[in-house]
Structure 1
Amino acid sequence: MKKQLNVGFITTLSGRWPRELPEKRRKEYGEWLEENLSGVNIIKAKALGDSPKAADEISQQFKAEAVDIIVMVYGAFTGDDISTCLAENLEVPIVLWAPYEPPFDKNDRLYANALVAITMNSASLKKLGYTCYTIYGDKEEATTAAKVINLITAYNVLKKLKGTVLGLFGYRPTAFYNSSFSESLIRRTFGIRMEETDLKVVFDEMDHVSREAYETDMEKVETQYDVSKLPEGHLENHSKLYLALKELMKRQSYDFATIKCWPEMGSLHTTPCAVLGRLADEGMNIGCEGDIDAELAQIVQNYLTGLPTFITDMINIDEEQNVMTFWHCGNAAPSLRNTKHEYTMNNHPLAGQGTAFYGALKEGKVTIARFCNINDSYKLFLLRGTAIDKDRYTKGVMANIKVDTPVRKIVERIMEDGIPHHYSVVWDDVADSMIEVCKLLNIPVIEM
């Protein structure tokens, strides 16, 4: 249920101010929003907001188009009447954006005076108890642009979270207490709804996959990967499970899911690591080992980027190089592989009871995150880094990530704060956007 945010855009001034600059900003800032805010609907006011009457008419337009948040750019000085009218009529957050004053000339007048306007308008809105955000700077300024993009993107994520359906294929593996969760706390905090499908349903669905369908998929897999080391029957089970989960995700209308991937699945020689990787590249993200809180991080990262993420353990540190090794059994999406190194489909590296990818993951900027239920409230563990070019040094899939904070300090903080052992890694720098999402959700951030 991935709804898009409706963003109302209005340019304002008080009626006596010259209109050339406001008209110019209306055109240029409207185009900038359309070009730089992907995945949202920009709804432009039909006219300048230059009077209470105009503000009322624009309010009606925005209400009819179900605007969720307003970006109000100052074309010129604007009294408190416009912003308060919008807030009272629509009761949605307002982003007050004051570009810099045009070049001053001691022999000419002020043409914008936007800094004064944003100061007084924000104070008035806060006095009245309305939510507003202030942006001071031109759209061409990187820090200013990032503030606007991160804020609107965070609101877009929040809208998508509310109504997201998270499927549970089974509960959690044996003795993995950190994969337990509070469904009501998650619903209250994130707006995510959960539904459960028993693993028996998964196994029954596998039995119903036609021979033609699973043999066709087996042939496809054999053309894409070296499967020569798979035990007999494992590839058949892989293709049956791949097709079964794909069907169940659609049938149950799950947006995301987690799965209890052992011990039952291993007992049937169908541990799903490689299946999860393939599905992630098709936009079906299923977190392993039933870890709901790690999956919450994957959901937010996916909503921010549209990319698959890697749910992983952190198994080693190199203090000399300040590198952390993130590894898991073989569940990474093939699109994340480092093409400089071998990437194969093999038997599960630990239990030997299913299919898993073996390989190194690609270089690039990454964001490492996990939502943590600590004392019945959520915190976000957050880490920025750069994945380096390094081959795996044990069976499974691996990313070696260089970070800024001393790695031992990170590990000690993880253990001190009680942060569980799974993390979600996405190949993009979205740390600031995740922080903005957490501000809106009132979730503290542990950034290392």
Structure 2
Amino acid sequence: MLKIGVVCLARKTFDYNAAAEIYKEKIEELKSIKYVEFIFDENLVIEVEEAQNSVKKFVDVDGIVIISGTFHLGHLALIYASLKKPMLLWAFNELPYNGGKIRLNSVCGLNLNASNLYKAGYDNFHYTVGDKIDMDWINALKMKKVLENTRLGVVGSRAHGFFNLGIDELNLNGKAGTLIDYLQLDELFDYANNSESQYEEKLKEIYDVSGINNTQLSKVSKLIRGLELFFKEKNINAMAIRCWPEFASKYGISPCAAMSYLQANDYIIGCEGDVEGTLSMIATKAASNSTPFLADLSQVNLEENYALLWHCGVAAYNLWDKKSNRSLDTYFAGGKGVTADFVLKPGVISLLRIDSARGKTRLFIAKGEAVEMKKELKGTYAKVIFENHINSLLDTLVKNGVAHHAAMVYGDYMRTFEIFGQLMGWEIIRG
């Protein structure tokens, strides 16, 4: 759960009593946000000494909301900034004039704070003006927090030849707080082989399994249980799997179908050992509270201006369009593929890729709309028309060397993603 400190600054030469009443209302409104623990200084902070005492309450928070209830001393925000936490500068709308005098001058206070912070070298602040807190900032802070709390298991390594998915794990830990553990494929195979096969009937309810045999169905079921146990006993909360070529040759099937099932049940599992792709899934889920899909920009139609976001059959089954046949199939790896096959549902989508290159981390983001299409090929996929022409998006991807996987999530989260990139200090590449 996020922990956010909240303080309201004021000065007695303005209508600080009105600011105090507004602040009381905002405290009650903020308490209704379920996934945040707010730590309030419930009194207005006016003097430097008050800020010096108040700041002690916020040592352990993930971020601080600094409200300019009225115009105020410039010292105050700098005292809270000394904690080096992400900050939201919030100004109230101006009240109706009273006798020709400006009552709050709240925006000017925000401007003062922003100028002082910028000139003091602080870049970790965002701002909002209005009656409501900026939920995009809160969700971006949630994205940052979830990466800090992620212990990611890399099972095997990256896929053979996928050099562009390589990472500097200590740099990633230093920048995002993520801890990475390397685990062995053979150990996961042992977990699966020694697990009970208990998901066959559930799989039959969800997918058309006529395209696979009973042995393959059992292996999918046992792998689901093995992965559940692996998550629990290895104390990891996300996983990036080297899903080929060893899975088909040593275990007997690929993990795609099992991943499709588990990801619809709140597990995060990335394909092909892609650590940053998996982190992208974690971040998009934190922003949206919905299921992500790690996809390839697999096909583009430059004339008709669309792309196919496809992967070989790992999309969570709850992303199904409810029209195509949702099935399991064995179309690749010499009949050992065992993938999910269906078209994804239509709707607005946002795309995000955390991506390292040349010593820096970038954030590729794009917005589009998944549109209806017929089930014409194997795997899981969505036909997407992007906000910008596909030719421009492809040009941006290629010229910036962005890796070939990105996390897709339903909804428009572009502003949240941009704030997240700012919080992390990462370059933003907009497709």
TM-score between the two structures when normalised by the length of structure 2:
0.92
Do residues 190 (structure 1) and 176 (structure 2) align? yes
Do residues 69 (structure 1) and 51 (structure 2) align? no
**Contact (CA 8 Å) 1:435, 1:445: kept in 2 or not?**
yes
Change (3 A) 1:49 1:169: same
**Contact (CA 8 Å) 1:93, 1:130: kept in 2 or not?**
no
**Contact (CA 8 Å) 2:93, 2:131: kept in 1 or not?**
no
Identity of aligned residues (%): 25
Change (3 A) 1:302 1:93: closer
- Name the counterpart of 1:424: 407
**Contact (CA 8 Å) 1:13, 1:76: kept in 2 or not?**
yes
Aligned AA for 2:209? V
**What is the distance in 1 between the residues matched to 2:11 and 2:27?**
19
- Name the counterpart of 2:246: 264
- Name the counterpart of 1:51: 47
- Name the counterpart of 1:273: 256
Matches within 5 A, 1:29-108: 29-35=26-32, 39-63=35-59, 66-88=60-82, 90-104=83-97, 107-108=99-100
Do residues 222 (structure 1) and 216 (structure 2) align? no
- Name the counterpart of 2:344: 361
Matches within 5 A, 1:37-436: 39-63=35-59, 66-88=60-82, 90-104=83-97, 107-130=99-122, 133=125, 135=127, 137-139=129-131, 148-210=134-196, 214=197, 216-267=198-249, 268-349=251-332, 351-436=334-419
Shift of 1:273: 0.5
Do residues 14 (structure 1) and 11 (structure 2) align? yes
**What is the distance in 1 between the residues matched to 2:145 and 2:273?**
25
My pick for the range that moved more, 251-260 or 95-104, is: 95-104
My pick for the range that moved more, 78-87 or 277-286, is: 78-87
Aligned AA for 1:230? I
My pick for the range that moved more, 195-204 or 51-60, is: 51-60
Shift of 1:434: 1.8
Please list every run of 5 or more consecutive structure 2 residues that lacks an aligned counterpart in the other structure. none
Aligned AA for 2:44? L
Change (3 A) 1:227 1:411: same
Deviations 1:67-114 (A, max 9, x none): 3322122222222243344345x4534433222221235x33221122
Shift of 1:16: 4.5
**Contact (CA 8 Å) 1:357, 1:397: kept in 2 or not?**
yes
Change (3 A) 1:442 1:134: closer
Change (3 A) 1:323 1:207: same
Aligned AA for 1:92? K
Aligned AA for 1:247? L
- Aligned residues: CA RMSD: 2.3
Aligned AA for 1:422? H
**Contact (CA 8 Å) 2:39, 2:57: kept in 1 or not?**
no
**Contact (CA 8 Å) 1:329, 1:348: kept in 2 or not?**
no
**What is the distance in 1 between the residues matched to 2:236 and 2:70?**
48
Shift of 1:6: 1.6
Shift of 1:349: 4.3
Change (3 A) 1:314 1:91: closer
**What is the distance in 2 between the residues matched to 1:274 and 1:103?**
61
Aligned AA for 1:113? N
Change (3 A) 1:430 1:247: same
Change (3 A) 1:25 1:351: farther
Q: Give secondary structure in 1 for the equivalent of 2:363.
A: strand
Deviations 1:188-244 (A, max 9, x none): 33221111111110111122213xxx1x31122223322111034100110111100
Shift of 1:404: 2.4
Q: Give secondary structure in 2 for the equivalent of 1:289.
A: helix
**What is the distance in 1 between the residues matched to 2:405 and 2:71?**
51
Size of the aligned set, in residue pairs, is 430
**What is the distance in 2 between the residues matched to 1:87 and 1:292?**
32
Change (3 A) 1:91 1:173: closer
Deviations 1:369-414 (A, max 9, x none): 2222222322222211111111232111110111122212322332
TM-score between the two structures when normalised by the length of structure 1:
0.89
**What is the distance in 1 between the residues matched to 2:310 and 2:254?**
17
**What is the distance in 1 between the residues matched to 2:235 and 2:331?**
29
Shift of 1:27: 2.2
Change (3 A) 1:186 1:135: closer
Please list every run of 5 or more consecutive structure 1 residues that lacks an aligned counterpart in the other structure. none
**What is the distance in 1 between the residues matched to 2:81 and 2:160?**
52
**What is the distance in 1 between the residues matched to 2:10 and 2:51?**
11
